[in-house]
Amino acid sequence: MDEAESLVRDAATRIFQDLGDPQTLNNAADDAWRAPLWSALEEAGLTTAWVSDELGGAGAGIGSGFAVLRVAGEFAVPLPLAETLLAGWLLEQGGIVMPGGAMTVAPTRRADKISLVDGKLSGTVRAVSFATKVDHIAVLADDHVALVSAADCLCRDGLNLAGEPLNSVDLSGVTPLQIATLQNGVDAKALNMMGAAARAMQMAGALQTVLEIAVQYAEERVAFGRPIGKFQAVQQNLARLGEEAAAAIAIANSTAHSIETLESWADDGVYLDVASAKIRVGEAAGQGSAIGHQTFGAIGFTKEHILHRFVQRLWSWRDDFDNEAVWAAELGRRVAAKGGEGLWHGLTAA
Amino acid sequence: MSVAIQFDPIRLPPEAEALRAEVRQFLKEEITAGTFDPNGGSRDNPEFSRKVGERGWIGITWPKEYGGQGRSFLERYVINEEFLVARAPTRKHFTADRQSGPVLIKYASEAIKQDILPRIIRGEVSFCIGMSEPDSGSDLFAAKTKAERTDGGWLINGRKLWTSRAHEADYMIGLFRTSAPTHDNRRHGLSQFLVDMKTPGITCRPVLHPNGNYEFNEVTFDDALLPLDNLLGEADMAWKQATSELAYERSGSERFLETIQVLMELVDVIGENPDVREAEGLGRLVAQLHTLRRMSISVAGMLHAGKEPVLEASVVKDLGTVWEQALPSVARDLAAFVDSDPGNRIRFEEVLARNITIAPKLTIQGGTTEILRGIVARGLGLR
């Protein structure tokens, strides 16, 4: 992590500690925390880290944006921060100026396609996070990026496993506020990769917190006359959780680095990192969540405890920008096409 | 952050990748010349080790004064992984290159270094590691084999067990008891020694693997007399000396590439048009492998930077050995419905059979799963 990244990391951590503490949010009777937290993030430039100064962003760079996402995962932030970052990044690829406010991005599934005919959009996309809570949607349509007012779209209500909006969005007949041709070799595949990498980083952050609170609980909770963390069975479980978190952090970091330094979105090495991250972190999310719950026992399976804030998001984020199985089948086909020796050459070239 | 598990995104530097091309070319030539057969034959091949030595690829990171090249640990990393994937017969020099040489560099007398290191580098001598005993396996500090100081040197008596390749080795780095453990430190009292395996009083007895392979030995020491100079480092303090050695021993690619041939044969047997089940299974394996390799390189980068990532190395070894152990059975499942040409299939089955039979040892040697998870738990602050 370079100096700029750790500054951004510290800034984000302070804001979430002050205004987005998971326990405080969990106890909150209403949504009064939402506006101050979002304003603080906007003022610090964290919502536009991936947008250049010229287009109204903070110009913090790819690495810093991923650093923000890792911290957001560590706090299980229930705001469209990743979505706004991704939308900003996509608009940037068309040179569209940031409209300000919260945004989301579409499509989020490789099977969903939006087309642009005579200045109007056509098609429906599934599983768009926070579509009903944001002002704008950045839409990839054919080889264009379109800025759309969320109010112009037909959004079907829906929630993810953490109770956050996850909507089907019918874009047919919608006239975008702005349209631009995509540059820098960015296409639907690149958007899918960028989204997958973002979710992988959030999951790595969330897993790190699940590990930390589980270890802390095991040190404090006494049963049979000792802290439960003194029992070998519990230690072995937590070691497994630590290993899953470590794998997630390692591949998510590696992927962020690959994207930060990439020369082309068509590079096989970048693809291998992103696909591996979405698959391996998704697997770690499943296994890590289970061990987290097992450690906390009954108290962890309550609304009053914060564990669910992390676990439910881990479960949900696994599915966004295509789940492990979809990525694995695609990666597997690519590997099969190159044969056994090609596999090793591909790994070492990445 | 209370839990400090660190895996920075390290990439191998250009000089390491340049070396990779040379290593691949060398391996191709040696296979063509018939020096070794990747699909069979002995893993012990003195001619191959000598040729690797000629290239300067053994002890490549060691100081120049002993014949090394003072090159980076990341370059060694590349040589190691390419040799593993090609199933190159590195047995003669592998242990000496990975850990015995570095121990000598750190703790041996100048005379021993001048004598032995250049011979390791030329691929002429092999080492074994004498740690486990009949009553001391994972619990290393229960070792009883004694080293008594006499006027003429150190007198060794006792037995080592599960000592891999002791019968072929020229030297052992052995862990012997020089005094009793103390009340507040049960790890106290063990010392490391250099043992010439030709010393009178040393005998090796084979203990065969279930498939009949001869790797393990019971090594008996009956009044074997070692020169005084052969004590490595400080008497009674081996527990302190072993720490950094473990990071090298546990994080390398041999901790996840041992059964890699199964995956490469699986790709070939599945063919270019896998069905969705085969493709998904294959994709998961590749994602897991790629993640392990990234983690292992990250640890190599930390070692290169002079850190001692013992916790991270244990994480890599546990995840890696569990993965490589499961690989043959996962591959067996994935290939179950494949209709490939008989030639491919026969080769796959042969590779599969060999790897299924060796798989159980992978999570035992060099630190068991349970021991490693104990180390990780300690790193998390739980013990």
ipTM above 0.85, yes or no: yes
Tell me if B216 sits within 8 A of B209, measured CB to CB.
yes
Amino acid at B273: N
Mutate to test the interface with A, among B280, B288, B370 (most CBs of A within 10 A): B280
The shortest C-alpha distance from A313 to chain B (Å) reads 21
Whether residue A107 has a cis bond before it, omega within 30° of 0: yes
For chain B, percent of residues with pLDDT exceeding 70: 98
Identify the closest residue of chain B to A341 by CA–CA distance: B264
Partner residue opposite B290 with nearest CB, options A272, A337, A340: A272
Question: What CATH number does the domain located at B129-236 have?
Answer: 2.40.110.10
Tokens of B210: 């279930």
Q: Is B259 on the interface with A (CB under 8 A)?
A: no
User: Residues B102-157: pLDDT tens digits?
Assistant: 999 999 999 999 999 999 999 999 999 999 999 998 888 899 999 999 999 999 99
DSSP A241-252: HHHHHHHHHHHH
pLDDT at B340: 78
Q: What is the DSSP string of B114-177?
A: HHHHHHHHTT---EEEE--BTTBSS-GGG---EEEEETTEEEEEEEEES-TTTTT-SEEEEEEE
Q: Does B20 touch chain A (CB under 8 A)?
A: yes
Nearest to A2 by CA among A83, A79, A71, A61: A61
Cα separation, A36 vs A40, in Å, equals 6
Please answer whether residues A277 and B326 qualify as being in contact, where contact means their C-beta atoms are separated by less than 8 angstroms: no
Query: In the numeric block, which tokens belong to residue B46?
Result: 């003195």
Residue B96 contacts A, CB cutoff 8 Å? no
Domain residue spans of chain B:
14-125, 129-236, 252-379
In terms of CA atoms, which chain A residue is nearest residue B372? A239
Decide if B382 and A325 are in contact by the 8 Å CB cutoff. Answer: no
Residues of B in contact with A238 (CB under 8 A): 377, 380, 382
- CB nearest A347 (choices: B289, B295, B315): B289
Q: Which of B20, B268, B291 sits opposite A276 (nearest CB)?
A: B291
Report CB contact under 8 Å: A330, B2: no
B 293-312 residues inside an 8 A Cβ radius of A: 293-295, 298, 312
Choices 2.40.50.1020, 3.30.70.1140, 3.40.30.10, 1.20.140.10: CATH for A188-349: 1.20.140.10
- Of A122, A126, A73, A79, the closest CA to residue A103 belongs to A79
Residues A108, A105: Cα–Cα separation, whole Å: 7
Residue closest to B238 by CA, chosen among B295, B206, B192:
B192
Residue A208's CB: how many other CB atoms inside 10 A? 23
> Looking at residue B129, what is its pLDDT?
95
pLDDT digits (tens, 9 = 90+) for B257-269: 999 999 999 999 9
Of A208, A249, A335, the CB nearest to B282: A335
B319: part of which helix (H) or strand (E)? Answer: helix B310-334
B252-379: CATH number: 1.20.140.10
**Nearest residue on chain A to B3, judged by CA atoms?**
A212
Check CB contact under 8 Å for A329 and B279. yes
Distance CA(B83)–CA(B77), nearest Å, equals 10
Mean pLDDT within B50-73: 96
- The verdict on A280 touching B (C-beta cutoff 8 Å) is yes
Q: Is A260 on the interface with B (CB under 8 A)?
A: no
Instruction: Establish how many alpha carbons lie within 13 A of residue A198's alpha carbon, considering only the half-sphere containing its beta carbon.
Output: 28
B14-125 with B252-379: one CATH topology? no
Q: Contact B377/A236, CB-based, under 8 Å? A: yes
The residue count for chain A: 350
- Band of the pLDDT at B244, cuts 50, 70, 90? low
A92-96, B92-96, B239-243: lowest mean pLDDT where? B239-243
CB atoms within 10 A of CB B381: 15
Contact: B287, A276; criterion CB under 8 Å: yes
Best CA proximity match to B326, nearest among B298, B290, B295, B284: B284
Torsion angle of C-alpha atoms A223, A298, A282, A132, degrees rounded to 10: -150
Give the three-state DSSP class for B305: coil
Indicate the pairing of strand A136-141 with strand A103-106: parallel
User: Residue B287: its chain A contacts at CB < 8 A?
Assistant: 275-276, 279-280, 327-328, 331
Identify the pLDDT of residue B181.
94
Name A187's Cβ contacts closer than 8 Å, sequence gap at least 6. Answer: A140, A143, A265
The CATH number assigned to the domain with range B14-125 reads 1.10.540.10
Question: Diameter of chain A by CA atoms?
Answer: 73
With both helix axes pointing from N to C terminus, report the angle between A232-260 and B369-379 in degrees, rounded to the nearest 10. Answer: 70
User: A259: closest CA among A96, A66, A71, A45?
Assistant: A66
- Token pair 């047919």 in the structure block, residue: A172
More confident call, B43 vs A327? A327
Query: What is the distance between the terminal CA atoms of chain B, rounded to a whole angstrom?
Result: 18
Q: Which CATH architecture has domain A93-184?
A: Beta Barrel (2.40)
Give every CB contact of residue B336 below 8 A, 6+ residues apart in sequence: none
**A95 and A182 in contact (C-beta within 8 Å)?**
no
Token representation of residue B103: 């121990």
Instruction: Please tell me the predicted confidence (pLDDT) of residue A1.
Output: 66
pLDDT tens digits for B334-353? 999 998 777 789 999 999 99
Distance from CA of A182 to the nearest CA of B (A): 29
The residues pairing with B153 across neighbouring beta strands, listed in sequence order, are: B150
Long-range pairs for B104-112: beta carbons < 8 A, 24 or more residues apart:
B104/B194, B104/B232, B105/B62, B105/B63, B105/B66, B106/B233, B106/B241, B107/B192, B107/B232, B107/B233, B107/B241, B108/B194, B108/B232, B109/B229, B111/B229, B112/B194, B112/B229, B112/B230
Nearest CB to A215 within list B294, B319, B380: B380
pLDDT at B1: 41
- Of residues B302 and B243, the one with the higher pLDDT is B302
Read off the DSSP letter of residue A157.
P
Q: Do A246 and B295 touch (CB under 8 A)?
A: yes
| Cα-trace Rg, chain A | 20
Query: With contact defined as beta carbons under 8 Å apart, do A116 and A144 qualify?
Result: yes
> Which residues on chain B are in Cβ contact (under 8 Å) with A257?
9, 11
Question: CB distance from B7 to chain A under 8 Å?
Answer: yes
Which tokens sit at B80? 């190691």
A276 near B CB under 8 A: yes
Which of B283, B291, B318 has the CB atom closest to A335's CB atom? B283
Q: Nearest C-alpha of chain B: how many angstroms from A303?
A: 25
What mean pLDDT, rounded, does chain B reach?
A: 94
Tokens describing residue B287: 């994602």
A240 touches chain B (CB under 8 A): yes
Domain boundaries, chain A: 1-77, 93-184, 188-349
Q: What is the pLDDT along chain A (350 residues), one digit of tens a residue?
A: 688 899 999 999 999 999 999 999 999 999 999 999 999 999 999 999 999 999 999 999 999 999 999 999 999 999 999 999 999 999 999 999 999 999 999 999 999 999 999 999 999 999 999 999 999 999 999 999 999 999 999 999 999 999 999 999 999 999 999 999 999 999 999 999 999 999 999 999 999 999 999 999 999 999 999 999 999 999 999 999 999 999 999 999 999 999 999 999 999 999 999 999 999 999 999 999 999 999 999 999 999 999 999 999 999 999 999 999 999 999 999 999 999 999 999 999 99
Find out whether B352 and B266 touch, Cβ atoms under 8 Å. Answer: no
